[in-house]
Every structure is written in structure tokens, then in C-alpha cells.
Amino acid sequence: MIDGREKKGMKTKKALLNATITLIAEHGLEALSASSIAKKVNVSKASVFHHFDSMETIQQEAFIFAVVLMHEALEQIYQEAKETDSFADIMLKCFLFFMEENNKHYLNLINVQMQFVVKSSYDAEFEELIYGKESEKTPFDFFETLVDDFYGDKLDAKDLELVNDLLATYLSGFATFFISMANKEWLISLWKENIKMIEIYIQSLIEG
């Protein structure tokens, strides 16, 4: 049973992780410190280390938290749309969600993940810290489910994997433009074209 104190503790922990994500996205991973997180949540530095063993743990848990938040958001969009919408419509809805002014925190999640990818490329210890501990779900898993639900009975396993791998790559490409604050309208029209391209490709796999 979760008592009041435990509940409050979880709320603080969540606030600390959200603050960590905002700080990384706004000032960069290198500028992150326990003091800056404490200040943002308006708690003491000791409170930060009450919830996390070390700065390493904070980064590790923030990564997993970011992945889970993203997955949950996508999953909710999907659950609300799956009965009525086409594959293309759902793909578009997912994209638009991250573009909305109100969902800046979700855009920050992408930024944080890109920073983690880049830092991992030259820091093997950091890579082990972040990617060594597997998260249960990733945003890529979500798109795998989406493709599988719509095309699982039309494509064989090898082709499904190809589509998923290509999609993962393209998502990373769009993520780069997301964080570069590229022109929104351009990005949306390009994403629409990307969906079209994928559908044409899937059709060629089905026929071929």
C-alpha cells in the first residue's frame, strides 16, 4: 500500500525528472547539475540526492522516464484513433502531437534523446550508463506495433522488419530537424510525403 508520504515522494521524484529533461533540453547535458535541478523544483540539493544516488542515476532515470513518457503519449494517440483512422492518419497525428505549442515538453524529450545518442558516440561509459539498462519500451517499439497492426497480415516477417528499420531511421532524421527548429510547415509537409513514400514502398513489397 502506498501511504501519503510515499505518494508525495513519487510526485517529487517525477518533478525532478521532468525538471532534468527541461534543463537538458534548454541548456545542454553538460550544464546539468544537482543544484540546477533542485532550484527548478524548489527543493534542496539534499532532496535531489535523497531520490537519486548520483548524477549518473539522474541521467539514467531521466532517459528511461523520457522514453516512457513518449511511448505513453504515442500509445494514447493510437488508442483513440485506431478504430477509425488509416495508417497514414495515425502517423500524421503522432507527428503533429510533437509539433503542438502546448506539447513543448514532448519536443524536449526528443532533444534529450538526441543529446544522449550524441554523447554516447564518444563516451563509452556514458553509453553503458544510458543504454546498458534496457528500458521496457521504446518509441520505436510503438511504430513497430503500428506497422504490425496495419500490415502484419500482408507482409512477411523479413519485410516487416525492413519497414520498421527504415521507419526508425527516418524518425531519427526527422528528430534532427525537429530539434533544429526547422520551419514547421515545411516539416509537416515533408512528413506527409514521407508517409506517402512508405506506403508506396509497403505496397511494392506486398505486390513484389
| Residue 180 binding a copy of itself, by CB under 8 A | yes
C-alpha dist (Å) from residue 68 to 73, 81, 183: 9, 20, 27
Q: How far is it, in rounded angstroms, from Cα 60 to Cα 185?
A: 34
Nearer to a copy of itself, 10 or 118 (CB): 118
In the bound complex, what is the minimum distance in angstroms from residue 61's beta carbon to a copy of itself?
A: 21
CB-nearer residue toward a copy of itself: 33 or 172: 172
| Residue 18 touching a copy of itself (CB under 8 A) | no
Q: Of 176, 115, 168, 166, whose CA–CA distance to 139 is shortest?
A: 168
DSSP code, position 155:
S
Quick note: the x/- pattern for a copy of itself over 104-123, rule CB under 8 A, is -------x--xx-xxxxxxx
**Distance between CA atoms of residues 175 and 156, nearest Å:** 28
Task: Give the interface with a copy of itself as residue ranges (CB under 8 A).
Answer: 25-28, 30, 111, 114-115, 117-123, 162, 165-166, 169-177, 179-181, 186, 190, 193-194, 196-198, 200-201, 204
